[in-house]
Amino acid sequence: MAQIIADRRDIDFVLYEQFKVDELTNHDRYAEFNRKTFDLIISEARNLAVKEILPTFAEGDREGARFENGQVKVPACYHRPYKLMREGEWTAMIADPELGGQGLPRSIAQAASEYFIGANYACALYAAVGHAAGELIEYFGTEKQKQIFLKKMYTGQWSGTMQLTEPQAGSDVGALTTTAVKNPDGTYTLTGNKIFITGGDHDLAENIIHPVLARIEGAPKGTRGISLFIVPKIWVNDDGSLGQPNDIVCTGIEEKLGIHGSATCAMALGSKGKCRGWLLGEENKGMRVMFHMMNAARLAVGLIGMMCGSAAYLYAANYAKERLQGRDLTRIADQEAPQVPIIQHPDVRRMLLWMKSHVDGMRSLAYYITWLFDQEVCTDDKEEKARYQGLIDLLTPVFKSYCSDRGFDICVEALQVYGGYGYTQEYPVEQLLRDCKIASIYEGTNGIQAMDLLGRKLGMKGGAVVLDFFQQIQKTTDEAARIESLKALATKLDEAVKRLGEVAMHLGTTAMSPDVKAAFAFAKPFLDVFGDVCVAWMLLWRANIAAAQLEKGAKSKDKAFYEGQLQTAKYFINAIVPITMGKMDAIAAGDPAPMEIPEAAFGG
């Protein structure tokens, strides 16, 4: 079990063969690193994950976070991994070393995270959220705010959250009612209630810094009147020392389907009239600031879905190789035939290949987006920066939604491979399934991501961004068309991309007509087929590399891996993409039934 929480061979393939991440060391920003250093960092992350985080997986789930006497206690077994992650500087891997980080490229930090998340993401998240909240201060805070907060948040001495959601304002953030009143000393007094706050309170860090969305008295209604505030659990003095507890408290934690060790808190601000905070950024510009964190969080959630799915697939594949059950299909009537590992049964192999194809494609898509980030910070060309950012913006809702959905589906399929044992707590896949499900819900439900893709992202720069995306796929299919064994696959992917463009244009036009609601009824199916095309692209890209390696005479230890890349691409493009094409036909047909059915017909 401990050896298969992430696939190092595949990670190395994606890092060094597909995206050539070691070439980043040619840039001044990463000149101190080399491939050997990157490999050592990933190996150390694996050791920490296997030896310290993985043992908390089942134990932390069964103990869970607890709310006792107004305080939140995390599972006792989480304390040592948190301490070790702090000491190893794993809490802010991409941050400047002067601020307590490692200064790593995002791609290498992501590879390390595969192990942390695959081991137990309910535990690992506590060490990551301080950096996520701290980035808001780094990018939008004053020099004094940076001086006071950054290093302590990046090193995990202080933790962080993201406080948006209220009982009446979930996805509709503009409906929030938390208020802020400016004080003579420049601070603000806040009053309100927040719910579903991950890590809103816990006993791992000495302080928790809350970025809180609120409306200053007299500000416009809706999102354009929202500001963002830095609200510490314990007040921070001007010299950075801790003062008295602030009037922001947890009033309870949720009992959830999964991630039991993660404290999901309801928070009360100003119940005694003494909750204070500092403005972060400009008044009424809070959503612009918070979207930086939200977009990063959406990519992180997509990673969680992918990584949970990857771990579940690896567990299932290992189990299928060891579990003896039934006779070989060709000897089914032979009562003397021995039992065989279930991986020899055709239906199990189909399930495993379905899982593998999605995991491989999603991993490559994850690292492609991260590669875009790394390229963006390494270029001074403004046009190139804008191009990379445009592709990131386009793919963010697709990645968040598709990977969280498919990650959960993979967990379901992995449980099926285990049979009855999978439904028990004796094996890890039932917990992975439970822990993974929230990824399709938080940081903007997947339906919201689909609306974002259709309503905003497809039309960016007059459609130039999505056109650029299609051109990137064309480079891969052009290369594949020159390889005899991949030529047919290239043709099929070209056809899928052409059809996706047609459907996108159709939906975009419909969305600007009186039939706007009918168009958005198909937004989520459209995002799903967009994701399928992304996965097919990544798998064909992988196959191009594998075919070249086999042609050159790959080492015997690598032949099965490369041959697996060819078969995986062949399976997905020949068996899954035709289904995708059918879904695109249904989207283009645009049956209006979802909008025409009477509400009363839904029952209840």
Query: Is residue 231 helix, strand or coil?
Result: strand
DSSP conformational letter for 324: B
C-alpha span between 490 and 537 (Å, rounded): 9
Q: Which of 430, 443, 484, 563 is catalytic?
A: 443
Q: What share of the chain is helix, strand, coil (3-state, %, to 5)?
A: 65, 10, 25
Residue whose token pair is 């993409």: 577
What's the count of helices (H) and strands (E) in the chain, helices before strands? Answer: 18, 12
Contact by Cβ (8 Å): 450, 523: yes
Residues 6 or more apart from 289 whose CB is under 8 A from it? Answer: 136, 139, 140, 228, 280, 281
Contact by Cβ (8 Å): 371, 272: no
- Residue 443: left if φ>0, alpha if ψ -120 to 50, beta else—which one? left
Residue whose token pair is 């009824």: 521
Alpha-carbon distances, residue 290 vs 134, 137, 143, 264 (angstroms)? 12, 11, 19, 20
Beta bridge partners of 253: 265
Active site residue 426: no
Residues 6 or more apart from 366 whose CB is under 8 A from it? Answer: 110, 302, 303, 306, 399, 403
Residues constituting the chain? 604
CA angle in degrees (0–180, nearest 5) for 536-303-146: 135
Residues 6 or more apart from 125 whose CB is under 8 A from it? Answer: 198, 199, 262
DSSP 149-210: HHHHHHTTSEEE--B--BTTBSS-GGG---EEEE-TTS-EEEEEEEEEEETSS-SSSSEEEE
* Cα four-point dihedral sign 379, 385, 391, 394: positive
C-alpha span between 275 and 323 (Å, rounded): 58
* Active site members: 443
